[in-house]
A and B are shown apart, each in its own frame.
Chain A
């Protein structure tokens, strides 16, 4: 149990660090791929819901800590996990086509970014209004593309 916790803790930490060091710099303006969300979806597809929620909270808190978005990622990721978990196919049970993977990732990204932006608008400490569409459409699309590429590479 302890080693499993450590295992997922390390995966989460590495995902957040990769997000900060690589994916945050590969974006265009506010449009960025959310690598941590891709990893979270993989956890949803392989683990039970409680673990997925705990993992979502962990990477949400880490992202908030490093990116100064206190509470936004935590809220968006845990809420998204609770809601979309039952719609994510199990990796061991289903072999998915590229298009299916892309659409699942896109749908989850849109829901996640919607929660993120609504929380940002609610908090009124972040200027989410002008970049609402950019993040909702652009970042979701970029996350879906990144996740699909990782899925293909992993498959090979």
Chain B
């Protein structure tokens, strides 16, 4: 009799486990569907409120560390500013000469990072501003040093950021000086480097070259610095090479940043959709 009770318990436990495993499988597969996206937004909000007090400690610690660094940077920037003032005059004349419009004035929203998840598996940030401040999915997050990531979810008061150290992150980029274009993503071999792909082998890429967003993907404005080239590696059996980049921004030390209120060109988006529909 006792044996049959135990057997019933066993069956019940196994059924329960199977039920939960199916639920887990469902969550893993459909996490990007609309219904679950709403739940994810609620979870971001809940986590932001819970982690907000802790972020104050992190902000204070980071502020102490960055204070000295900012002092040094300030002197360098003052020097650069005086040079830039004279260059700006020259630039205006040159721009007028070639008829280009000034497209580098970005609409910036200062934000604070209230929660960080940099465990390496599913890296993400949460910032203290959201759709109420005009922040929408797709907008880039930058610091004075360069690109940090992109908004992936937005609620009224908070938004979730996908930093460049995330397996799903992609950015169209170019190398300053030689007009080489490619796609930047997170390198899997070394987690502290980014990789730029699809650059032809025939293009010589000097070590230390600056990599910046190209503006081609209609996702980021052009000219946002990403990092500097540390090494190159030809791809076997292909005409392209991989460019390894050290990002300018340290994700661990970043606590304040700016959202660029950048909206993709609607006409370009529509053209892309029309083009894709031709092949369906």
Contact = CB atoms under 8 A, between A and B. Distances in A.
Given A78-B24, A125-B167, A69 B46 contact: no
Contacts of A65: 39, 43, 46
A78 B21 contact: yes
B12 interface: yes
Given A53-B20, A66-B43, A131 B121 contact: yes
Nearest to A22: B54
B13 A125 contact: no
Contacts of A129: 188
B168 A125 contact: yes
Nearest to B57: A25
A17 to B, nearest CB: 7
Interface residues of B, number: 41
B166 interface: yes
B21 A30 contact: no
A68 B120 contact: no
Nearest to B124: A68
Interface string A71-84: 11011001101100
B216 interface: no
A103 B163 CA distance: 37
Contact of B17 (A48, A66, A67, A79): A79
Interface in A32-83: 32, 48-50, 53-54, 56-57, 60, 64-72, 74-75, 78-79, 81-82
A123 interface: yes
Interface residues of A, number: 44
Contacts of A49: 9, 13
Contact of B121 (A78, A79, A126): A126
A141 B50 CA distance: 27
Q: What's the dominant secondary structure at chain B's contact region?
A: helix
A82 B46 contact: no
A128 interface: yes
Interface stretch (B26-34, B85-93, B140-148): B26-34
Q: Which of B21, B166, B188, B189 has the most C-beta atoms of chain A within 10 angstroms of its own C-beta?
A: B21
Contact of B24 (A21, A30, A67, A72): A72
A127 interface: yes
Which one of B14, B118, B122 has the greatest number of beta carbons of chain A within 10 Å? B122
Contacts of A11: none
- Identify the interface centre among A127, A129, A135: most chain B CB within 10 Å of its CB: A127
Contact of A30 (B28, B39, B43, B121): B121
Interface string B167-193: 110000000000000000010110100
A137 interface: no
A66 B122 CA distance: 13
A119 interface: yes
B55 to A, nearest CB: 11
A17 B119 CA distance: 17
A70 B21 contact: no
Which of the listed residues B13, B119, B189, B191 has the most CB atoms from chain A within 10 Å of its own CB? Answer: B119
A88 interface: no
Contact of B28 (A25, A27, A81, A123): A123
29 contacts: A29-B119, A29-B120, A49-B13, A53-B17, A57-B16, A60-B20, A60-B24, A66-B43, A67-B47, A67-B117, A68-B122, A69-B121, A70-B27, A70-B28, A71-B25, A71-B26, A71-B27, A79-B17, A81-B17, A82-B14, A119-B28, A125-B168, A127-B120, A127-B186, A130-B189, A130-B191, A131-B119, A131-B191, A134-B120
Interface of A: 17, 20-21, 25, 27, 29-30, 32, 48-50, 53-54, 56-57, 60, 64-72, 74-75, 78-79, 81-82, 119-120, 122-123, 125-131, 134-135
